[in-house]
Chain A
């Protein structure tokens, strides 16, 4: 147990509240810088795609949100698992904080995908494997949020939704596989192609910048929401006033 002391100290509400607050600028500032540079580079400076023209530029929002939708669910599932197994409230708070962010990025990914689909396929929606998986992922987020909101008691909500998140996490790869099996028509992955990226640097570098920028933005929002979650589930809301004055014992 002693080895885990730091782990539990970090998990105490005052400490984690303060830590989240301290981390916030370290995520937020680079996030905005990278997003500014990356989006300017991608939306203005990068050359037109020889096939898709300007339409391809939506990739600078679409691809990072697709990545964050999955990252969000992984963070959700892993922290839910930690919360369930080690009964760590901070992990549950993190899961609760991350779920709506992940759902938002999933939604963003679907919307940008649909907008991209119009010039590409001539329709806003096509039953393409990746869009469909993304849609199912959105449904999974919505199911998670629905279960959470059906509980009045926070602790039960935490633990019940954690079980669902874990089941979902195991299911995500299976769903991806099944949807791909159902329908494998989409352009291949362009960034992570074996043998080096196929994109020219002028397109690729802004893309990587916006990936990093959006990910940091995700982390920054997660910090803010985590602070709110911690306050929300703290039963003695006085510590955060006390904590400025003196050290606070952890119960």
Chain B
């Protein structure tokens, strides 16, 4: 078994007066697809945001490659690509501009690379501003952004929200390919997902 990439120990999180996460512990290794399952309000989004360093747990710790979350935010940023409820796309920019900007925040990136990634999610040749796209199309562009980040870890919050059947399949393929190449994917889903991946692990939140 490979050394764990992500280690969570005895995590406690409160949202307002709700004790959402109660002493959660788990580990995940490179190549895993970790699916967080649970009903609405069970803390899937909160857990992903804790893992991304956007939320602070009341107690417990999150370690990436043995490093505590707040030790080195820049390292966390290089390691993780995050897809939240919001897509992180500006309505007035075209998909390509959006993807280009988000990627250039992290690394140098050529226009071809962006075009290729957009083609991969079926969003090539769209010059309209993002506001004119459907919700599912925006989700696809956001997926392209995740791809382009070339981060070893993907944190995806309900990645198939708004996606049609082909979009869900595409998204699953991308996730499996990423895991197969030694990446770690942590994603939340409020209904069952079937992956072909052998490294699929489920974590139920209640």
Whether A and B touch (Cβ < 8 Å) is answered with yes
Interface, chain A (partner B; CB < 8 A) = 87, 153-154, 235, 251
Question: B5: shortest Cβ distance to chain A, in Å?
Answer: 26
Asked if B203 lies at the interface with its beta carbon under 8 angstroms from chain A, I say no
Do A153 and B16 have beta carbons less than 8 Å apart? yes
Do B19 and A235 have beta carbons less than 8 Å apart? yes
Q: Complex formed: what's the CA distance from A87 to B17 in Å?
A: 18
Contact of A235 among B17, B56, B59 (CB under 8 A): B17
Closest to B58 in A: A251
Query: Contacts of A235 on B, CB cut-off 8 Å?
Result: 14, 17, 19
Question: A80: shortest Cβ distance to chain B, in Å?
Answer: 17
Do B59 and A251 have beta carbons less than 8 Å apart? yes
Question: A10: shortest Cβ distance to chain B, in Å?
Answer: 18
Question: B180: shortest Cβ distance to chain A, in Å?
Answer: 39
Residue-wise, chain B 11-53 has the 8 Å CB interface mask toward A (1 for contact) of: 0101011010000000000000000000000000000000000
9 contacts between A and B (CB under 8 A): A87-B56, A153-B16, A154-B16, A235-B14, A235-B17, A235-B19, A251-B12, A251-B58, A251-B59
B42-78 residues with Cβ-Cβ distance < 8 A to A are 56, 58-59
Question: A251: shortest Cβ distance to chain B, in Å?
Answer: 6
Question: B35: shortest Cβ distance to chain A, in Å?
Answer: 29
Query: Contacts of B16 on A, CB cut-off 8 Å?
Result: 153-154
Other than the known A153-B16, A251-B58, what 7 A-B pairs have Cβ atoms closer than 8 Å? A87-B56, A154-B16, A235-B14, A235-B17, A235-B19, A251-B12, A251-B59
Residue-wise, chain B 95-126 has the 8 Å CB interface mask toward A (1 for contact) of: 00000000000000000000000000000000
Q: Complex formed: what's the CA distance from A235 to B22 in Å?
A: 14
Closest to A236 in B: B19
Query: Contacts of B59 on A, CB cut-off 8 Å?
Result: 251
Closest to B19 in A: A235
Question: B128: shortest Cβ distance to chain A, in Å?
Answer: 36
Q: Which 4 residue pairs spanning A and B have beta carbons closest together?
A: A235-B17, A153-B16, A235-B14, A251-B59
Query: Contacts of B19 on A, CB cut-off 8 Å?
Result: 235
Question: A199: shortest Cβ distance to chain B, in Å?
Answer: 52
Query: Contacts of A154 on B, CB cut-off 8 Å?
Result: 16
Question: B118: shortest Cβ distance to chain A, in Å?
Answer: 36
Closest to B16 in A: A153
Question: B57: shortest Cβ distance to chain A, in Å?
Answer: 11
Question: A175: shortest Cβ distance to chain B, in Å?
Answer: 33
Q: Complex formed: what's the CA distance from A251 to B56 in Å?
A: 15
Q: Complex formed: what's the CA distance from A235 to B20 in Å?
A: 13
Query: Contacts of A251 on B, CB cut-off 8 Å?
Result: 12, 58-59
Q: Complex formed: what's the CA distance from A251 to B58 in Å?
A: 9
Question: B130: shortest Cβ distance to chain A, in Å?
Answer: 29
Closest to A251 in B: B59
Closest to B59 in A: A251
Q: Complex formed: what's the CA distance from A153 to B18 in Å?
A: 12
B151-199 residues with Cβ-Cβ distance < 8 A to A are none
Question: A244: shortest Cβ distance to chain B, in Å?
Answer: 24
Query: Contacts of A153 on B, CB cut-off 8 Å?
Result: 16
Closest to A156 in B: B16
Question: B188: shortest Cβ distance to chain A, in Å?
Answer: 22
Q: Complex formed: what's the CA distance from A235 to B58 in Å?
A: 12
Question: A233: shortest Cβ distance to chain B, in Å?
Answer: 10
Question: A9: shortest Cβ distance to chain B, in Å?
Answer: 15
Query: Contacts of B56 on A, CB cut-off 8 Å?
Result: 87
Question: A201: shortest Cβ distance to chain B, in Å?
Answer: 55
Q: Complex formed: what's the CA distance from A132 to B165 in Å?
A: 66
Query: Contacts of B58 on A, CB cut-off 8 Å?
Result: 251
Question: A148: shortest Cβ distance to chain B, in Å?
Answer: 16
Q: Complex formed: what's the CA distance from A235 to B19 in Å?
A: 9
Q: Complex formed: what's the CA distance from A87 to B59 in Å?
A: 12
Question: A82: shortest Cβ distance to chain B, in Å?
Answer: 16
Question: B71: shortest Cβ distance to chain A, in Å?
Answer: 15
Closest to B56 in A: A87
B17, B56, B59 pick with most chain A CB within 10 angstroms? B17
Query: Contacts of B12 on A, CB cut-off 8 Å?
Result: 251
A87, A153, A235, A251 pick with most chain B CB within 10 angstroms? A235
Question: B168: shortest Cβ distance to chain A, in Å?
Answer: 34
Question: B43: shortest Cβ distance to chain A, in Å?
Answer: 16
